Every structure is written in structure tokens, then in C-alpha cells.
């Protein structure tokens, strides 16, 4: 299955609005591939704008930076809310419209790309205390009582997890979840051709993104996901 992503830069227009320019990336949108390609080959402001204006990318080669594009599309231009957290929620919605698993935004202060899972809370936590945050009202520099910009709830949760030996428990949970979900898919799709190719891709997706999206799948859901996956492979 494709690992889709949104690639974007945020700039202030003549009216003072924060405008997101974004491109859709179809394959290998996880940080170990697309994230490497962006930071290796498109980490200057001008090249960051260039890649954000591409519109459509099938695959971005992390070794060479070469763009493989099966279609020609215009980049999306979207005015964002002034507030940082509201802007992140809007970007999540836009990324959802692309079917994106990851969001990549260019940090104008650090001149590098930052990545996040396509979840509003994850983006808020990941992009806070960066140049992305400071492009909006409500950024961390606007809050003298919380200069680090770290939610109290997040700190408390991290302390609880450390006390419980979180790392080992989390690894065990992920391994069990991966086995259970792959077994569910295998059972639901046992008569389908090329099943192992799909299961290998599924296992890789769970390794990168977790199993939560699949845990409530019915047989119909598995069949639909399998058909979409095979259709993607035939198209590309």
C-alpha cells in the first residue's frame, strides 16, 4: 500500500494571511524515505518552495532527489487560521483529503523539514517550538508562562509511562498487535491471489504507523483495502 504524505511550506501573503502551499506525495512518504529526501535535497528556502509547488509526486528519491511524477497537478493554496493549534487542525483536514499518513512542513527558522503523523495533536506537539509555530498567534514565544510550550498533560503521561517500564511494554504491545492484525487480514483474505505481497506491505505499514487503524476492520474492510492496494500497484 502507498504511504501518502503532504509536503508544504507556509508563507505570509500581502493581506497578512498565513498560506499553505502543499504537494501530494504518493509513495514512501515515511520519514526514512521522503523525510531524508527533503532534508538532503530540498532544505534551502528556495528549494523548499519549489518542491511544495510541485503539485503531485509519485516518489521522491532520497539518494538523488529526483522527482518521479506520473501526473501533472497544481499545488494547493490554502489560507490557514491565525491561531497555531487551529492551523494544525486545518492542515490535518487538508492532509486527510489527500489520504496522507504524514505531514511535512518546512521550518523557516531552522531551514529544515519537520515531519509528523497526520494527527492534529501529534502535529501540535511536533511543530511547537519551531519556526512553524512562530508563524502563528498563540505560538510558544507568545506564552511567557510556558516558554517551552510543552503541555502539562504530556509531561505527566511521560512520567507515568517511564515508571511503568513503558518502553518494554510498548514494544510487546506493538508486536502482539502486529501479529493479531496480520492474522486477521490473512484469515479474511485467504482465497485472494498475491496475498503475501499485501501482507508484507501491511506489516510494514503497521511497523511504521501502528495498528490502530486496522483493529476494527471487518471482512468487507479487508477486502476493500486489498482491492485498493492491488489497484494502486496496477496504476503505478
| pLDDT value for 129 | 83
* Mean pLDDT in residue range 192-200: 86
Q: To 10 degrees, what angle do helices 219-235 and 195-209 make?
A: 100
Average per-residue pLDDT for the chain: 83
Q: pLDDT tens digit string along 11-40? A: 999 999 999 999 999 999 999 999 999 999
Residues 45, 25, 209, 30, CA torsion sign: negative
Q: What letter does residue 26 receive in the DSSP assignment?
A: -
Which position has the grid cell 506525495? 25
* C-alpha–C-alpha distance, residues 16 and 29, integer Å: 31
Q: pLDDT tens digit string along 98-113? A: 999 999 999 988 899 9
* Mean pLDDT in residue range 157-185: 60
- Closest by CA to 96, choosing from 123, 132, 114, 71, is 123
* Mean pLDDT in residue range 73-94: 95
Domain borders along the chain are 5-149, 166-235
pTM, two decimals, is 0.62
DSSP output for 171-182: HHHHHHHHHHHH
Amino acid at each position: 500500500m502507498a504511504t501518502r504524505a503532504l509536503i508544504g511550506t507556509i508563507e505570509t501573503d500581502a493581506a497578512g494571511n498565513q498560506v499553505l502551499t502543499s504537494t501530494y506525495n504518493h509513495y514512501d512518504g515515511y520519514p526514512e524515505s521522503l523525510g531524508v529526501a527533503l532534508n538532503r535535497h530540498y532544505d534551502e528556502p528556495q528549494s523548499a518552495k519549489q518542491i511544495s509547488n510541485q503539485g503531485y509526486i509519485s516518489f521522491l528519491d532520497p539518494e538523488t532527489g529526483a522527482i518521479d511524477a506520473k501526473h501533472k497537478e497544481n499545488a494547493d493554496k490554502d489560507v490557514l487560521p491565525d491561531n497555531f493549534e487551529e492551523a494544525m487542525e486545518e492542515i490535518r483536514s487538508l492532509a486527510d483529503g489527500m489520504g496522507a499518513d504524514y505531514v511535512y512542513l518546512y521550518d523557516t527558522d531552522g531551514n529544515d523539514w519537520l515531519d509528523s503523523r497526520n494527527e492534529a495533536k501529534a502535529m501540535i506537539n511536533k511543530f511547537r517550538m519551531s519556526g512553524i509555530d512562530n508563524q502563528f498567534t498563540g505560538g510558544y514565544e507568545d506564552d511567557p508562562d510556558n516558554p517551552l510550550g510543552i503541555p502539562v498533560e504530556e509531561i505527566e503521561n511521560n512520567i507515568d509511562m517511564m515508571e511503568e517500564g513503558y518502553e518494554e511494554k510498548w514494544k510487546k504491545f506493538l508486536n502482539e498487535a502486529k501479529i493479531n492484525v496480520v492474522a486477521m487480514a490473512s484469515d479474511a483474505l485467504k482465497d485472494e491471489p498475491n496475498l503475501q505481497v499485501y501482507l508484507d506491505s501491511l506489516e510494514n505499514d503497521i511497523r511504521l504507523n501502528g495498528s490502530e487503524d486496522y483493529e476494527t476492520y471487518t471482512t468487507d474492510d479487508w477486502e476493500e483495502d486489498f482491492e485498493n492496494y492491488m489497484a494502486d500497484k496496477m496504476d503505478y
